[in-house]
Each structure stands twice: as structure tokens, then as C-alpha cells.
């Protein structure tokens, strides 16, 4: 692989993590500046690379921050299309052999390498749907500001299901999505629906999973390979903060 391209890949990872940290700390201008830099880098990645979708999502948050909701809808819709291409990319991604605890399992994987690879690719695809869920949530928020409530509600319920399936019911972003859904139910005077989402929130908050940014910093592969590319895109996709839409 081209050495300059690989250097840009490392830069994308570092800038995306710094941008996400800045955004969470309400340093919006810094975050947007860094996301735009990563967006420029990502446009040099091959079609289908999941980091392109992550960058499209992250750059679109600038429009939500500026309350340009129409442009945000366009940008986030484009990001969803990029995620479709990324999910297709996983079917051909290179997968690394997993470390096995026994010689038996090592030999089994070597004998059935294609089957093991396909299973791992399916898991990677499921993981990436958790990032798709955040783009879907961001798009729902933009749609709400345009009074497209029916579309927004569908996006929100789908996002919650995707995020739970991909990263588990105790994920921090599951709480964020469920809170908006609970608020929507409250506005509709639908007590049973609100109670259901409140229960989701309480369950997640009771034993909250590790933060995704911390997990990325702890578990990122040391080599630049397709697994790292996939994990970077999944962990470094941003969800719009409540302060930017309440």
C-alpha cells in the first residue's frame, strides 16, 4: 500500500478521536475544524470504506450545530447511503486470523478459513450497524426540526433497535436515543410507550457499558488493516449532543 496513504489513515484516526473528544467537551469549533480535515482525508479512501461514511456523518453535525436543518438532512441522507456501501464493503474485507487458545481450534480455523472469515465479517457488519444507528438518529433530529415527525419517529425507533443489537442494551448512546423517544411519547401523552423507553434507560444506566471512545483507545489494533479501519469508523462516529437540539 502507498506509504502516504497509510500515513493519512493514521492521521484520520487520530484527528477523529480528538474531534469526538472536543465535541463532547463543547469545543464545537475545534471539533468541526477537525472533522472537516478528516472529511478531506476520507475522500481519498476507496469507495465503500466505512471511514468515508463516518466522516460524512461527523461533518454533517456542523449543519445541526448551525441549525441548518435542511442541509443537515441532505448531508445525513448521503451519509446513510455511504453506510450502505460500507456494509457491502465488509463482505470483501480482509480478516485477520484470531488468536486461539488451543491447537485444536487453530487447526479448525485453518481448515475452515472461509467459513470462519464469513462469520467474522458478519459480526463486523453487525458492529457497523451501530454506527449507522447514530447517523439515523442524527437524521431524525434534523427531520424533527423540519416537522417531519413520522419519518423522524421511524428513524428513531430503528436507530434504537440497531444500536442495542450492535453494542448491547447498556450502551451509552442507547440511553441518548431512548430519552428522545421517551420525550416523544410524553408529548403524545402515550404513558405506556414512555414507560417502555424509561425502562430501557434505567436498564442501560444501571450497568452502563464502557464508553466507545475509551474502548477504541484501549482496543484499537496496532496494525493498519481492514479490521482497524472498520473499528475506527464504528467507534469514532459521533451522535449529536442534546445541547445542540434542545
* Alpha carbon separation from 172 to 114, 168, 205, 211 (Å, rounded): 34, 10, 8, 7
Q: How far apart are CA 212 and CA 32, in angstroms?
A: 20
- Enter the C-alpha cell of residue 46: 476507496
Helices 103-111 and 113-145, axial angle in degrees (round to 10) = 80
| DSSP summary character for residue 214 | H
pLDDT (tens digit, 9 = 90+) per residue, 13-52?
Answer: 999 999 999 999 999 999 999 999 999 999 999 999 999 9
pLDDT (tens digit, 9 = 90+) per residue, 68-111?
Answer: 999 999 999 999 999 999 999 999 999 865 544 444 444 545 55
Mean pLDDT confidence for 220-229? 95
Q: How confident is the model at residue 143 (pLDDT cuts 50, 70, 90)?
A: very high
Q: Calculate the average pLDDT of the chain.
A: 92
Architecture of domain 3-244: Alpha Horseshoe (1.25)
**Which of 132, 96, 115, 71 has its CA nearest to residue 222?**
96
**Which of 131, 24, 150, 13 has its CA nearest to residue 79?**
131
Measured at the CA of 221, the angle between CA 219 and CA 223, to 5 degrees, comes to 165
Answer yes or no: is pLDDT of 186 > 90. yes
Amino acid at each position: 500500500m502507498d506509504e502516504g496513504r497509510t500515513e493519512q489513515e493514521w492521521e484520520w484516526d487520530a484527528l477523529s478521536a480528538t474531534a469526538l473528544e472536543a465535541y463532547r467537551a463543547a469545543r464545537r469549533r475545534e471539533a468541526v475544524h477537525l472533522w472537516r480535515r478528516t472529511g478531506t482525508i476520507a475522500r481519498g479512501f476507496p469507495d465503500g470504506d466505512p471511514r468515508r461514511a463516518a466522516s460524512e456523518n461527523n461533518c454533517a453535525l456542523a449543519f445541526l450545530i448551525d441549525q441548518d436543518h435542511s442541509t443537515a438532512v441532505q448531508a445525513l441522507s448521503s451519509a446513510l447511503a455511504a453506510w450502505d456501501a460500507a456494509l457491502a464493503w465488509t463482505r470483501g474485507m480482509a480478516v485477520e486470523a484470531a488468536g486461539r487458545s488451543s491447537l485444536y481450534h487453530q487447526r479448525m480455523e485453518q481448515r475452515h478459513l472461509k467459513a470462519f472469515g464469513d462469520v467474522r465479517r458478519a459480526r463486523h457488519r453487525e458492529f457497523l450497524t451501530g454506527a449507522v444507528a447514530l447517523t439515523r438518529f442524527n437524521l431524525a433530529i434534523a427531520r424533527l426540526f423540519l416537522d417531519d415527525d413520522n419519518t423522524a419517529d421511524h428513524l428513531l425507533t430503528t436507530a434504537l433497535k440497531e444500536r442495542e443489537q450492535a453494542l448491547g442494551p447498556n450502551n451509552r448512546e442507547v440511553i441518548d436515543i431512548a430519552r428522545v423517544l421517551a420525550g416523544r411519547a410524553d408529548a403524545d401523552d402515550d404513558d405506556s410507550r414512555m414507560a417502555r423507553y424509561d425502562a430501557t434507560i434505567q436498564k442501560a444506566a444501571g450497568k452502563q457499558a464502557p464508553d466507545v471512545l475509551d474502548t477504541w483507545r484501549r482496543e484499537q489494533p496496532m496494525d493498519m488493516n481492514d479490521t482497524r479501519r472498520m473499528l475506527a469508523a464504528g467507534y469514532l462516529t459521533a451522535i449529536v449532543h442534546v445541547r445542540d437540539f434542545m
